[in-house]
Structure 1
Amino acid sequence: MKIVTIVGARPQFVKAAVVSRAIAEFNREKGEKVIEEVIIHTGQHYDANMSDVFFEEMRIPRPDYHLGIGGTSHGAMTGRMLEKIEKVLLKEKPDAVLVYGDTNSTLAGALAAVKLHIPVAHVEAGLRSFNMRMPEEVNRILTDRVSRWLFCPTETAVRNLQAEGVESWSEARIYNVGDVMYDAVLFYQKIAVPGREVSDILQEYKNNFYLATLHRAENTDDILRLASIARALDDIGRKIPVVVPLHPRASKRIKENEIKFSYVKIMEPVGYFDMLTLLKNCRGVFTDSGGLQKEAFFFGKPCITLREETEWVELVAHGFNCLAGADYEKILNLEQTFMHRDFDFSVSLYGDGRAGEKVVEILVQNHKADYLI
């Protein structure tokens, strides 16, 4: 069985690492190469700290194809990806295409495959923010609609797809396998070694700092929202240090708008191991990232989400996460109240840590049953 895996953005490297490792383990157990994986890296995240370091430290097989596409508008990026991915698929003739999450790489990979009648498997299917202004929401809905195998991380995601009538689509199948990000944290936290800069931060701040990230277009491209969040984080930093590994998009907008920080520790983007170390040692998290909301939960850290909604509604429902948007006063008030509560993180929300194995087993079973075209 030949599978083409398509990645391009930082969270996808983490997710793909889990399934790639499960594929390798499956082949070892069978004593033969039952599954051949071909990896396409679109180049959506092209900065070395956002891309190359992940493949090195996470032991992900190097991409077989690097398309080098990034740094342009959504439409241009997706179109160029679609064209180049199609050429690779025509050459490789895979039995299935595996895509992750909700990026332009995800949508382009799914569209290229389905137009060639190659079945699509979508890992992290069924997530919904119900905000169609988000490019990610558009990407995930369209990808789900053309996928044959919908691998959901939660029961909420399953219910979202059922409500949309997915089970009536021909050949579409829904599976709740759990969250591959949970698999990743369980595996990589055992071997994560921080770099020099993060080690220095831990020595200086000990466990008394907040971790913050900012990258979504709704925040970075709206100067009022960006300035409000930045001012709130800076004011919080007066009493408790705030460490911000700054996404290139956010960094560019901050420089363009001459936003200044006095009490925030700004860093370049960090690798996955550094991020795990920061998560493990921080007091809490401020973020507009979907993945980091979950990872905060995995490490038992409260999270204030800098958005008006979240796909990970179970975190809010169980009181581990709260929504602050870009409201300066609300961010400050939640830091003073929510961040200082007592939390019980013992509840299981994202599976048993075997999501990657389940994805591989299901794909192989379906292949053997001649479901693949």
Structure 2
Amino acid sequence: MNDGADETDLAIVLGTRPEIIKLAPILRECLRTETEFTLVHTGQHYSDSLDSVFFDRLELPDPDYNLGVGSGSHAEQTGEMLIEVGRVLERESPEVVLVQGDTNSVLAGALATSKLDAKLGHVEAGLRSFDREMPEETNRVIADHVADYLFAPTEESKENLLREGIPESRVTVTGNTVVDALYRNREIARRKSTVLSDHGLEGREYFLMTVHRAENVDEESRFRKILEGADRAAARHSVEIIYPIHPRARDRLDRFGIDVSDRIRLVEPLDYLDFLRLEASASVILTDSGGVQEEACVLGVPCVTMRDSTERPETVSVGANRLSSCDPDRIVRTVGEMLRTDLDWENPFGDGTAGERILREVAPQTERVRQ
């Protein structure tokens, strides 16, 4: 952490739960190696149940800055973050700034850094859904093209970057920090989490579902189709679906007047360890989350992605994941196929040392500043 000085070598910008989880291995590596860093939290997830509790549960240091941006349109949110992150970076004068993923926080951090005398590192670079209607796709493409260090999780993501004309000298294949996080935390979750008993669940006897992306929940007909397909799949296999519901999705249920089937149990957003325990013990995971696709793959749990495309094609290639779109018939069919699939696929996301590799790449830059 920053010791209060006005300058630091490394700044890390994050704003959402997935970013906290995936940057945690890098934060821990900074602490282990006594690397000076400043942690900037934009506050993009403004619900404590989704966000700040993770710092406590994951035993991470509190942010040096919490900008508290909160909700708003994409333009409003990104604009406010850009102003506030820019002010922090000007004050701290880091040599390197790290961002992770494809959120508005990433876009703001990347643009703010590109205007300053600092180098940008993009963790999880090169992911592509090839769907420009997704705001996340725009965010990740822009971040990649202004970054100086591109930390690609797989060879496939590296090839995406090279096809776009990014010099190979900027790209390092590191594996994905999601593996680091899962290896560290799945045993802790097994020991500490009581979520299964709290909800009266037995392992492998339920489906887990996450649906929150704007393209799925903001369009009423699409959201209704997804819920119908999930409900029919649960009925066919005589199981219950556990749905930790994002505030955005709950708001849309209320706005659209959607009555959810009794087979779909809505629960409040869960902290990371509880959610990880639910993931590891589910028979199938239905999701529209990129991070959950990765986690399911690493945990050995079959996944059905209720989207038209995925920026994690490696999960499909190894047989851990299939796309169902929002079509109810296709959701039912794909769930059945994944329940019958072999579970011996190879993890394509590395060996759990991505955080160490990433910090090793940026450390020479920060070391030169101290000398």
Q: TM-score, normalised by structure 2?
A: 0.93
CA contact (8 A) 1:235 1:263 kept: no
In structure 2, C-alpha distance between the alignment counterparts of 1:288 and 1:354, rounded to whole Å? 26
The CA deviation string for residues 13-50 of structure 1, in whole angstroms up to 9 with x for no partner, is 001111000111122xxxxxxx2111111010011111
The CA deviation string for residues 133-164 of structure 1, in whole angstroms up to 9 with x for no partner, is 00000000000011000001010110000101
SS in 2 for 1:98: strand
How far the C-alpha of 1:367 sits from its partner, in A, is 3.6
The CA deviation string for residues 222-265 of structure 1, in whole angstroms up to 9 with x for no partner, is 11110001112222333111111111111110111111122111
How far the C-alpha of 1:369 sits from its partner, in A, is 5.7
How far the C-alpha of 1:53 sits from its partner, in A, is 1.2
Aligned positions of 1:345-364 closer than 5 A:
345=345, 347-364=346-363
Q: Could you say what the CA RMSD is over the residues aligned between the two structures, in angstroms?
A: 1.6
SS in 2 for 1:49: coil
CA contact (8 A) 1:286 1:303 kept: yes
Structure 2 equivalent of residue 32 of structure 1: none
How far the C-alpha of 1:2 sits from its partner, in A, is 1.6
How far the C-alpha of 1:65 sits from its partner, in A, is 0.6
**1:295 aligns to 2:302 (yes or no):** no
Pairing partner for 2:9 from 2, 21, 24:
2
Which region of structure 1 is more displaced relative to structure 2, 242-251 or 205-214?
205-214
Structure 2 equivalent of residue 173 of structure 1: 170
The CA deviation string for residues 45-89 of structure 1, in whole angstroms up to 9 with x for no partner, is 011111111111011110111111121000010000000111111
In structure 1, C-alpha distance between the alignment counterparts of 2:196 and 2:69, rounded to whole Å? 30
Pairing partner for 2:22 from 2, 7, 15:
15
SS in 1 for 2:11: strand
In structure 2, C-alpha distance between the alignment counterparts of 1:156 and 1:196, rounded to whole Å? 38
In structure 1, C-alpha distance between the alignment counterparts of 2:230 and 2:53, rounded to whole Å? 28
CA contact (8 A) 2:96 2:121 kept: yes
Number of aligned positions between the proteins: 359
In structure 2, C-alpha distance between the alignment counterparts of 1:161 and 1:204, rounded to whole Å? 43
Counterpart amino acid of residue 109 in structure 1? G
Structure 1 equivalent of residue 141 of structure 2: 141
SS in 2 for 1:109: helix
In structure 2, C-alpha distance between the alignment counterparts of 1:234 and 1:120, rounded to whole Å? 44
In structure 1, C-alpha distance between the alignment counterparts of 2:265 and 2:271, rounded to whole Å? 17
Which region of structure 1 is more displaced relative to structure 2, 4-13 or 235-244?
235-244
Counterpart amino acid of residue 234 in structure 2? G
How far the C-alpha of 1:351 sits from its partner, in A, is 1.1
**1:190 aligns to 2:187 (yes or no):** yes
Structure 1 equivalent of residue 97 of structure 2: 97
Structure 2 equivalent of residue 267 of structure 1: 267
Structure 1 vs Structure 2: percent identity of aligned residues?
A: 38
**1:24 aligns to 2:31 (yes or no):** yes
SS in 2 for 1:191: helix
Counterpart amino acid of residue 120 in structure 1? L
Counterpart amino acid of residue 221 in structure 1? D
The CA deviation string for residues 199-226 of structure 1, in whole angstroms up to 9 with x for no partner, is 323x434420011100111101111110
Structure 1 equivalent of residue 254 of structure 2: 255
Structure 1 equivalent of residue 3 of structure 2: none
In structure 1, C-alpha distance between the alignment counterparts of 2:63 and 2:367, rounded to whole Å? 27
How far the C-alpha of 1:343 sits from its partner, in A, is 2.6
Structure 2 equivalent of residue 309 of structure 1: 309
CA contact (8 A) 1:22 1:360 kept: yes
Pair 230,126 (structure 1): closer, same or farther in 2 beyond 3 Å? same
Counterpart amino acid of residue 33 in structure 2? F
How far the C-alpha of 1:116 sits from its partner, in A, is 1.1
Structure 2 equivalent of residue 57 of structure 1: 57
Structure 1 equivalent of residue 198 of structure 2: 200
